[in-house]
């Protein structure tokens, strides 16, 4: 008896990338592309419609992020299996995606053989994280989590705002802002605001494209 093909849903907002993935997987033995989605809301609808065995998903999507999509779908379908396929290797991105329930995390520079073997491995109940990604994740797991307010302050720091401007925005005193900054510097393992901003961007804690312009 011939084994049923692995049914795959591709969630990717860039048309060329999505079409390229679909073309690649459609000619692979034992794989069947059952649907495609270009944004987070469409991804949920397509998953509900097709109930795929595996969903390939990017983290940066219009309307809903990849992490949000994973979390929402897994609330409805706990056994749903996701493979993150992205250009982002910040340890915060990795941590949030895996915490949401992703079973594998691949960067878009991977080979077609690595992608196909990962799909088959995840379908078989396994997880896969490349060694370099695993190292970043280990570093993240050893770090202390920032509080929601510390994340707010960090975002303002990345935007280039002064302590006075942050205090006015958050409606707290400058002394309180300084306390939050000292705390987040320690948790990030850095010594000043510039290093904090750099670490936040490199680790994917504050994505550049989500930031408002200063004083906007």
Spans of all domains in the chain: 6-140, 148-210
Distance, CA of 82 to CA of 31 (rounded, Å): 15
Give me the mean pLDDT over the 115-143 stretch. Answer: 78
Tell me the whole-structure pTM to 2 decimals. 0.67
- Whether 210 has a pLDDT exceeding 60, the answer reads no
pLDDT value at residue 87: 79
User: May I ask the CATH class of domain 6-140?
Assistant: alpha beta
Q: Does this chain's domain 6-140 share its CATH topology with 148-210?
A: no
Q: How many CB atoms lie within 10 A of CB 92?
A: 20
- Whether 117 has a pLDDT exceeding 80, the answer reads yes
Distance, CA of 38 to CA of 15 (rounded, Å): 8
User: May I ask the CATH class of domain 148-210?
Assistant: mainly alpha
Give me the mean pLDDT over the 19-36 stretch. Answer: 92
H or E segment to which residue 42 belongs:
helix 40-50
- Whether 182 has a pLDDT exceeding 50, the answer reads yes
Q: What percent of the chain has pLDDT over 70?
A: 86
pLDDT value at residue 215: 46
- Whether 176 has a pLDDT exceeding 60, the answer reads yes
List the alpha helices (DSSP H) in the chain.
Answer: 15-26, 40-50, 66-76, 91-100, 112-123, 131-141, 148-158, 163-170, 174-188, 193-202
pLDDT value at residue 108: 81
- Whether 156 has a pLDDT exceeding 60, the answer reads yes
pLDDT tens readout for residues 56-108? 999 889 988 888 999 999 999 999 999 998 876 666 777 788 888 889 888 88
- Whether 135 has a pLDDT exceeding 80, the answer reads no
- Whether 214 has a pLDDT exceeding 50, the answer reads no
Sign for the pseudo-dihedral over CA of 28, 23, 16, 123: negative
The model's confidence at residue 155, banded by pLDDT at 50, 70 and 90, is: confident
Task: Check if the beta carbon of residue 54 is closer than 8 Å to that of residue 48.
Answer: no
């Amino acid at each position: 008896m011939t084994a049923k093909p692995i049914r795959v849903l591709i969630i990717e907002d860039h048309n060329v990338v999505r079409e390229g993935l679909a073309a690649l997987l459609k000619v692979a033995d034992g794989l069947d592309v059952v649907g495609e989605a270009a944004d987070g809301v469409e991804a949920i609808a397509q998953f509900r419609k097709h109930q795929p065995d595996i969903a390939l998903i990017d983290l940066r999507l219009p309307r809903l992020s990849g992490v949000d999509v994973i979390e929402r779908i897994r609330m409805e379908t706990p056994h749903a299996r996701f493979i993150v396929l992205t250009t982002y290797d910040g340890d915060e991105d990795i941590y949030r995606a895996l915490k949401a329930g992703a079973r594998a995390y691949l960067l878009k520079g991977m080979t077609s053989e690595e992608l196909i073997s990962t799909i088959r491995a995840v379908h078989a109940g396994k997880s896969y994280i490349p060694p370099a990604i695993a190292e970043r994740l280990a570093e993240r797991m050893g770090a202390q989590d920032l509080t929601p307010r510390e994340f707010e302050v960090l975002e303002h720091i990345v935007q280039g705002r002064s302590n006075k401007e942050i205090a006015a925005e958050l409606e707290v005193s400058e002394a309180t802002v300084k306390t939050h900054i000292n705390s987040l510097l320690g948790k990030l393992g850095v010594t000043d605001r510039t290093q904090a901003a750099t670490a936040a961007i490199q680790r994917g804690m504050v994505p550049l494209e989500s930031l408002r312009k200063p004083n906007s």
